Amino acid sequence: MNIHSIYSKISPYFRNKRFEKFIDNIQPKAHESILDVGGYPNTWTTQNPCWNSIEILNIHQINHNSPTYANYNINTVIGNACSLEYKNNCFDIVFSNSVIEHVSSWENQKKFAAEVRRVGKRLWIQTPAKEFFIEPHYITPFIHWLPKNIRIYFLKYFTVWGLLTKPTDKKIKEMLNEIRLLSFKEMQQLFPDCEIIKEPFFMIFTKSYIAFRK
């Protein structure tokens, strides 16, 4: 078993439920364009297929020429979510799932939020909640609440991610520098014109936040 096999068993349930909520709340019309920031084609072709014109932006190239996607209007591009090369309001909908926490810093998160708000008329931007007791990238409780300089010593031997992937010290530092989880208050600051939806876990905890603009 590796970390990806665990993700493959856990993530689809939550992602599928979240995508159903996206469809219910956003209700994309067939003629509307969608920008998916940091996503993958299978988000739009499984469970609830979406036939819109969809542009998927990532920092690296993604192959979307599989026969699986042949009947879908999907285009993939390389770009920087913190500096989007699009005109204002050029997409009807901007969608992003668990990406904004990967842009390294609060300053970059502010840029990310400003850019998606600028290019999209409507928004659906999800991110794991800092307040949730399990850190989803390491699949370990409480580790993300420790100071960064202490966290570095625990990641290799005291997290599911560390035990399964056996990361080098360089990789640990890269992960620490890459991931910055957001609190509810920070989401409100980043998306002042959006409703911040709390995604529940067992009706008690908040697992993630979604910035939703109609």
What pLDDT, in 10s, does the model give residues 61-117?
A: 887 666 667 778 899 999 999 999 999 999 999 999 999 999 999 999 999 999 999
Q: Of 9-18, 72-81, 186-195, which gets the smallest average pLDDT?
A: 9-18
pLDDT at 207: 96
> What does the pLDDT read at residue 9?
65
Q: State the pLDDT at residue 184.
A: 98
d(CA 152, CA 146): 10
φ, ψ for residue 133, nearest 5 deg: -75, -15
CA separation for the pair 127, 100 (Å, rounded): 7
pTM: 0.92
| pLDDT tens digits along 123-182 | 999 999 999 999 999 999 999 999 999 999 999 999 999 999 999 999 999 999 999 999
Residue 24 has pLDDT above 80, yes or no: yes
Confidence grade of residue 202 (pLDDT, cut at 50, 70, 90): confident
The tokens for 177 are 């520098």
Angle, CA 118 vertex, CA 117 and CA 119 arms, to 5°? 100
Residue 2 pLDDT > 70: no
Q: Locate tokens 């708000």: which residue?
A: 117
Cα 204 to chain centroid, rounded: 22
Domains and CATH numbers, the chain: 3-134+179-213 (3.40.50.150), 138-177 (no CATH)
